[in-house]
Amino acid sequence: MLQHMEDAATDDLDEEFVDEVENAVKLIYSQLPLKYIGSSTMKGTAFVKFINDLVERMNKSENSAFLSIPSEYESIIQFVAQEAIKDAVVLYQEQMDRVLNEEGKLPILWDEFTEIHNNCISEANKIFFEKIIGSPTQMENFKEQLSEKISKFKEEFTKINSDELTAYNENIAKDYWERFVKIGLTQENLFESNDEFQEALRAFELAYEKSFMKSPEAAKVIASYMQNQYPTAIEYMTQLGRMNAELAKAMKAKEEAETLRLEALAREEEFRREMEAQKYERAENERNFKEKMAELQANIEQQNKSHEEMKERLIKEREIATEKYNQKFEQLHNEMLEQQKLSEEEKIRLLEQQEFKFEQIQREAEERNRELRAQLLEEKEKAIESQNEFYKSQLAEQIAANERQHSAMVELMQKDKKGGCLIS
């Protein structure tokens, strides 16, 4: 039933039960020590995910026998890392969007863009390092993943601002070109001389330099004019005879060199900006890693302290347990001795009872034997008496028979005597 309790709405549960659960949870949280994955604390989302995964695995009978805490730890580290990366990227994107998409905000100078980017990435790193857990090597790997994702969004924002800078500077260049140079290339206002043409070019460049937004894009715009519009204007002035071929050739060479210089400056500026961004990010990472390592070291020390306290507690508990065991053993020993004593007494009592019974049986046997001897003597006397009577009867009968025989013989002798017979 408890496995499906989460499916029930809180309002459907007994109010007293809900209060008891809330109080139990508060009590658990108040006494719950910090949990660690390695040297990282496991709290918040990580702890909730860990508990949910364990409960889910244990609720599945086919998985409960294969539950592995270390593998669950690794799963939580990966989960927390992806959540931290996602939250950090979303924060960076939202903050950059909010700042750069303000009406009339773009274009901005690259120094300002870099400052905004650095602020946003600092906030993203802050939330990332607050949430991330795992070993230093794992954290470094996760940070690289974050940097790759943020780099893609940075490129998008960079392109947007670069396009805006290019468009802004192109509009300025177009306006000043038409105002200072193009107007002098029309039949109505044609430059009278090369000097006037040169002056117009300098005026165009000066006005553009005062109004442009300094950036590689601005340099590329003016370089593009020098590469395309300048040669066309010089060629047109040469055709009109306002400039000789040698001068035109020299100007073209000069503008080509200037174009190359400006393009090189633009590349150098982009490279410088990129190097500064990497330098800042490296310093930011070092600072964040240093703080994170300090946190991990503090966690390790806390764990060691907890382990020492636990060790001391275990030693104390072991001593208490040993003492209780010894007391219990002594108690059992005393009980055994008492039992042995009682057994000896019981044995003696039983022996005495057996001896008494034996003596009683012996007395009864002797009494029985006396009775049997008396009975036997009586029966013997009776038998003798009966035998004597029999003998007396036999003797009497024998005497009677002898008497009868004697009488018969006497009578016979008398008869013989009378008959004259001599008996010898």
| Domain-located, residue 129 | no
DSSP assignment of 213-239, as one string?
Answer: --SHHHHHHHHHHHHTHHHHHHHHHHH
Q: What is the pLDDT of residue 324?
A: 73
The rounded distance, in Å, linking the Cα atoms of 346 and 342 is 6
Distances (CA, A) of 210 to 110, 167, 225, 274: 17, 17, 17, 26
Say how many domains are in the chain. 1
Under the phi-then-psi rule, with left for phi > 0, alpha for psi from -120 to 50, and beta for the rest, what region is 92? alpha
The rounded distance, in Å, linking the Cα atoms of 197 and 183 is 11
The rounded distance, in Å, linking the Cα atoms of 273 and 340 is 95
| Domain-located, residue 286 | no
| Domain-located, residue 227 | yes
Task: For the chain, 424 residues long, give each residue's pLDDT as a single digit of tens.
Answer: 555 666 677 777 778 887 887 887 777 655 555 555 554 555 555 555 555 554 555 555 555 444 444 556 788 888 889 999 999 999 999 999 998 888 788 999 999 999 999 999 999 999 999 988 888 898 899 999 999 999 999 999 999 999 999 999 999 999 999 999 999 999 888 998 999 999 999 999 999 999 999 999 999 999 999 999 999 999 999 988 878 788 778 878 888 888 898 889 889 988 998 899 889 888 888 888 788 788 777 767 776 776 676 667 768 766 776 677 677 767 766 776 777 777 677 767 766 776 777 677 677 767 777 777 787 777 777 767 776 677 677 777 777 777 777 777 767 766 665 555 444 3
| Domain-located, residue 26 | no
Q: What is the pLDDT of residue 67?
A: 47
| Domain-located, residue 256 | yes
Tokens of 220: 């590329």
The rounded distance, in Å, linking the Cα atoms of 309 and 84 is 33
Question: pTM of whole model > 0.95?
Answer: no
38-74 exposure pattern, b = at least 16 Cβ within 10 A, e = fewer: bbbbbeeebbebbeeeeeebeeeeeeeeeeeeeebbe
| Domain-located, residue 229 | yes
| Domain-located, residue 117 | no
| Domain-located, residue 193 | yes
Query: Taking the CA atoms of the chain, what radius of gyration do you get in angstroms?
Result: 64
Q: What is the pLDDT of residue 29?
A: 59
Q: What is the pLDDT of residue 23?
A: 81
Q: What is the pLDDT of residue 424?
A: 39
The whole domain housing 209 covers 170-271
Q: Please say whether the beta carbons of 133 and 80 come within 8 A.
A: yes
